[in-house]
Amino acid sequence: MMYKLDLTAVSLSLALMLAAGCTTFSPDGGMEKVNQLTRERIQQDAAWQRSEQDARSARAATRELLAKPQPLGPDDAVRIALLNNRGLQATYADLGIAEADVVQAGRLRNPGFSYTRLRRADEVEIERTFLFDMLGLVTMPLRTELEQRRFALTQARVAGEVLQLAADTRRAWYAAVAARESATYAEHVRQAAEASAELARRMAAAGNFSKLDHAREQAFYAEATAQLARAQQNAVSQREQLTRLMGLWGDDASFQMPARLPDLPTAARDIRDLEAQAIKNRLDVQIAMQEAENLASSMGLTRATGFINVFEVGYQRNSASHEPRQTGYEIELRLPIFDWGGAKVARAEHTYMQAVHRAADTAVRARSEVREAYATYRTAYDLAKHYRDEIVPLRKHISEEVLLRYNGMLLSVFELLADARQQIAAVSSHIDAQRDFWLAETALNLALTGKSPGAMKLFAGAAPISGAAEH
């Protein structure tokens, strides 16, 4: 009869261990949920390179995008960044870590077995003990659920990093194109200044120009040359920033970019219920709320194991020389004499309330940030449209009138060159306004769907319209 009890206990233990080992890793490592979140917001999927085949596929897709005959667009730049950015690939490892915790939570601790053999003269005493973690078995469903919640939270965080990289890449693309376009116009300014300085030199040599006016033209040419160098360096820096975000190097870094920024949309977006959309769709708000829910659930586990933290059942089978075999069981339970678990419960409650207040603060910030982002977007659109429809056409009309008066010998060549410099300065400011609009649109999209876009410094690169030509 004792022998039968022994087999029953072992069989029960093996069955429990097999049942606990049913939790396995998912085929995609949790990327499907990440792609679902990103697809809903930017219509693009992420790509986790977990094998050499995945790396080759990403490389082939990148080269296909770079081989297009047309210059690289913002959507293609984002796609390349999602395929190649190594920092993002490192972030995907958080998914594997979180899923490993889920699998581990669904498995029991290995059972313990001890064997003792004691000898006294001719007597031999043998003690065998089989230990099994009963508390781990009882709390396994709750622990597994908590780790699954944490895994879902990690998926949302990784999706947020994907959205952040997409926004950074899009901003870098607009900044790089604008810098290239500004460098082109800076070259036009330098050429005009060089022609003006050469003419002034010749006229001064002939005695038809004062030394003061000659010096002014030479100073403007020198300043235009320095401004061109700064514009060219800025173009290189902005392009390299985009290259880093896309994870390109070697021959791939020689990709082609458009010569100018995209045109403004026909009309600005009229987004209704901005705050409601932000609260519903922003990942940082969802993450903060989920963290509070996870802590609320974990408090149940804390209360359950607050003062009972070791509860193991052991089966013993002992034998001694010339004595009948001895069987029975052993229960190990820590008595709550010194620590009743009150500190653990109090800590969990305070941590939960902290998470609740942080979630509320995140929601308040999201509402404010999306209002600010939309105001910046509308201001940037109106300003860029004002340059396009008012300032640049007016400058063009003024230049045409100045040219007519120059042809009629009513104005000097220096007045003609000064007006040309003013027109180029207006076009440069128009480029800055277009750039600011596209940056503001990117920030608005991130504020509506991802997380805080950060404060945007509008008009930071705007140049004066006519100050450079005054002399």
Which of helix, strand or coil describes residue 331?
A: strand
Residues 153/94, Cβ–Cβ less than 8 Å:
no
Task: Give yes or no for residue 415 having a pLDDT over 50.
Answer: yes
The highest-confidence range among 57-61, 321-325, 407-411, by mean pLDDT, is 57-61
Task: Give yes or no for residue 335 having a pLDDT over 70.
Answer: no
**What is the per-residue pLDDT for 152?**
86
**What is the per-residue pLDDT for 27?**
82
Q: Average pLDDT for residues 241-262, to the nearest whole number?
A: 93
Q: Average pLDDT for residues 221-227, to the nearest whole number?
A: 90
Q: Average pLDDT for residues 422-431, to the nearest whole number?
A: 83
Residues 278/447, Cβ–Cβ less than 8 Å:
yes
Residues 387/432, Cβ–Cβ less than 8 Å:
no
**What is the per-residue pLDDT for 300?**
63
Where residue 331 falls among pLDDT bands split at 50, 70, 90? low
**Cα-based distances in Å from 138 to 102, 134, 143, 336:** 16, 6, 10, 19
Task: Give yes or no for residue 344 having a pLDDT over 80.
Answer: no
Q: Domains in the chain, start-ordered, CATH in brackets? A: 2-469 (1.20.1600.10)
More confident residue, 419 or 376: 376
CA angle 451, 279, 90 (to 5 degrees): 30
For 379-393, how does the pLDDT look when each residue is reduced to its tens digit (9 = 90+)?
999 999 999 999 989
Average pLDDT score over the chain = 79
Q: Average pLDDT for residues 212-228, to the nearest whole number?
A: 87
More confident residue, 142 or 316: 142
Backbone angles phi, psi at 22, to 5 degrees: -75, -20
For 440-466, how does the pLDDT look when each residue is reduced to its tens digit (9 = 90+)?
999 999 999 887 776 444 444 433 333
For 6-57, how does the pLDDT look when each residue is reduced to its tens digit (9 = 90+)?
444 445 544 555 454 556 778 888 889 998 988 988 999 888 988 899 899 9
Residues 440/456, Cβ–Cβ less than 8 Å:
yes
Report the distance separating Cα 115 and Cα 113, nearest Å.
7
pLDDT cut 90: percent of the chain above it: 30
Q: In sequence order, what are the residues at sequence separation of 6 or more whose Cβ sits closer than 8 angstroms to the Cβ of residue 424?
A: 185, 188, 189, 192
Structure pTM?
0.78
Beta bridge partners of 120: 123
**What is the per-residue pLDDT for 261?**
93
Task: Give yes or no for residue 281 having a pLDDT over 80.
Answer: yes
Where residue 107 falls among pLDDT bands split at 50, 70, 90? confident
**What is the per-residue pLDDT for 436?**
95
For 125-181, how does the pLDDT look when each residue is reduced to its tens digit (9 = 90+)?
777 777 767 666 766 777 777 788 888 888 989 999 999 999 999 999 999 999 999
- Of 457, 433, 419, nearest to 178 by C-alpha is 433
Where residue 110 falls among pLDDT bands split at 50, 70, 90? confident
Q: Average pLDDT for residues 70-95, to the nearest whole number?
A: 93
